[in-house]
Structure 1
Amino acid sequence: MRLNYVETGSADSPVVLLGSSLGASHAMWAPQVDVLAERYRVIAFDHRGHGESEVPDGPYTIDDLGGDVVELLDALEVEQASYVGISLGGSVGLWLAINAPDRIHRLVAICPPTNTAENPQPWTERAAQVRADGTQSITEATLGRWFRPEFTEIADIRKMLEDCPDEGYAAACEALSTMNLLPGLAGITAPVLLITTDGDASVPPETVVPLASQIPGAHLEIIENAAHLVSYSHPDLVNPLLLTHLS
């Protein structure tokens, strides 16, 4: 599987991977890339079916999405990297920490779903809707969950969602419909920072907060007055947390 990626920063610096949300491309990390690239070799990638990555027919699984990242590390000849992921990208990061622990140095999981298999129907229904009517049919509802009403700088994110390949989005929804990462959390050895928000309607904070006691040594930060895509809306709060944890 060929994943599209953009590399920034010195080739001699430690590597940090950036994994995006469902429906987003690597471009959603624009508020973080330059800051991180001052210290790290930053590799922002598109999940399969997203951005400019290949779009195989679905359904996908979380094993597929995580395995793609391992293949990317192999292709880049990177033995170990730190990883920052949000939403679906955070789930992929947790999968990597569970299933490829020797490849992950430090992990930041922002608003990560962990047991969406517990209630698969919303994901299978959304997959069907997108296959029938396109990603445009879910854009407004998605933006309403991702941002608080007062945050209006969303034109680029709107276009990103509408440009996401329909099959890629739907197939990734199907990956979420079968995903349960909870059994593996206790075996994670990488230092983990969990970030959630008080206003996340996509991955409610009450599903993220308990993870801090299930992942050994995990640190939890709750950002107030923010919604799901907090890395984009509140980089002034998120970026210092990333720099502190990754150092």
Structure 2
Amino acid sequence: MHLDITGCDNDNAPVLVLAAGLGGLGSFWLPQLNALRERYRVVSYDQRGTGRNADPLPEGYSLREMAAELAASLQRAGIERFDVIGHALGGLIGLQLALDYSAHVNRLVVVNGWLTLDAHTRRCFRVRQDLLLNVGVEAWVRAQPLFLYPADWLSAQQARVEAEEALQCAHFQGMENLLRRLQALMNADFRATAAAITQPVLALCSRDDLLVPWTCSQQLCEALPHATLQVMNWGGHAMSVTDSQTFNQLLLAWLDATPDVAAPLTEMLPDTLRV
């Protein structure tokens, strides 16, 4: 898996790993890069099955595999300790990393994530899946902004949205890959394991998120031992794009105020993941 590493040249600088949502592309985080890379080493990547890592995914592909692939790639890059900032699916990958590789994960930021899939979110995914299967890729892509962005932002950004749609159609990750990644996301459930995630966690959400109710972040926060909830009033599911200034301020403030309390690095990656 290819990683993009940028930011502070100091080898001792904290490492932030940015994990995108279902789209899977590292470019999702462009509105955050300038704000983060002055003080941090920033890692972004295209998830397996997407972008530059467009391998065919196996049947039964799981969230645990997503976390293991990222952990192995970070180790190959010489990165042993890191924070994870994940949006939706990316946040769930971060939670899984905190469980499976706890000594390597310092802190977590879960953006518009959840403890277990909400009934409303499941309905939204089923509608989108029906569009993909019964109408086609273009219908999936055209519908996506409705779930990501507030209506007023969409109305003011039509040219940008249309350009993004054309790009997404041209570089679509493939129906099988998307459906397998979507199923892995929908199967994720941390209700039985959340109490074992001892790292500091910021659950950051938007009150007007159409896809994932903000109360999902509240429920996640309540289930984690050391979690903080921050709720933005506006911005939709992709508020890191629509209101990046507020998002970046909240993110940096939490990182500045939250100490690194990582456990001693005594756990090693499984032999099967070593270089």
**Structure 1 match to 2:26:** 26
Do the aligned residues in 2 keep the contact of 1:88 with 1:113 (CA within 8 Å)?
no
Evaluate the alpha carbon distance shift between residue 222 and residue 62 of structure 1 in structure 2; reply closer, same or farther with a 3 A threshold: same
Q: Which moved more, 1:20-29 or 1:79-88?
A: 20-29
**Structure 1 match to 2:117:** 116
Which residues of structure 1 form unaligned runs of 5+? none
Quote the sequence identity (%). Answer: 25
**Structure 1 match to 2:38:** 38
**Secondary structure of the corresponding residue to residue 109 of structure 1:** strand
Do the aligned residues in 2 keep the contact of 1:130 with 1:170 (CA within 8 Å)?
no
Evaluate the alpha carbon distance shift between residue 58 and residue 201 of structure 1 in structure 2; reply closer, same or farther with a 3 A threshold: farther
Residue type at the aligned position of 2:252: L
In the alignment, structure 1 residue 246 sits paired with structure 2 residue 255? yes
Which residues of structure 2 form unaligned runs of 5+? 257-275
Q: Deviations over 1:153-200 (max 9, x none)?
A: 435643454323123222111112322122111111111000111111
In the alignment, structure 1 residue 185 sits paired with structure 2 residue 186? no
In the alignment, structure 1 residue 165 sits paired with structure 2 residue 163? no
Q: Deviations over 1:17-49 (max 9, x none)?
A: 000010241111111011100001101111111
Q: Give the Cα separation in 1 of the matches to 2:29 and 2:164.
A: 11
TM-score (norm 1): 0.89
**Structure 1 match to 2:146:** 144
Evaluate the alpha carbon distance shift between residue 123 and residue 58 of structure 1 in structure 2; reply closer, same or farther with a 3 A threshold: farther
Q: Deviations over 1:39-62 (max 9, x none)?
A: 011011111111211322343211
**Structure 2 match to 1:73:** 74
Q: Give the Cα separation in 2 of the matches to 1:184 and 1:246.
A: 24
Evaluate the alpha carbon distance shift between residue 126 and residue 55 of structure 1 in structure 2; reply closer, same or farther with a 3 A threshold: farther
**Structure 1 match to 2:94:** 93
In the alignment, structure 1 residue 8 sits paired with structure 2 residue 6? yes
Residue type at the aligned position of 2:64: D
Q: Give the Cα separation in 2 of the matches to 1:197 and 1:117.
A: 16
**Structure 1 match to 2:233:** 224
Q: Give the Cα separation in 2 of the matches to 1:39 and 1:96.
A: 23
**Secondary structure of the corresponding residue to residue 54 of structure 1:** coil
Residue type at the aligned position of 1:96: L
Deviation at 1:121, TM superposition (A): 7.6
Q: Give the Cα separation in 2 of the matches to 1:75 and 1:105.
A: 19
**Structure 2 match to 1:236:** 245
TM-score (norm 2): 0.81
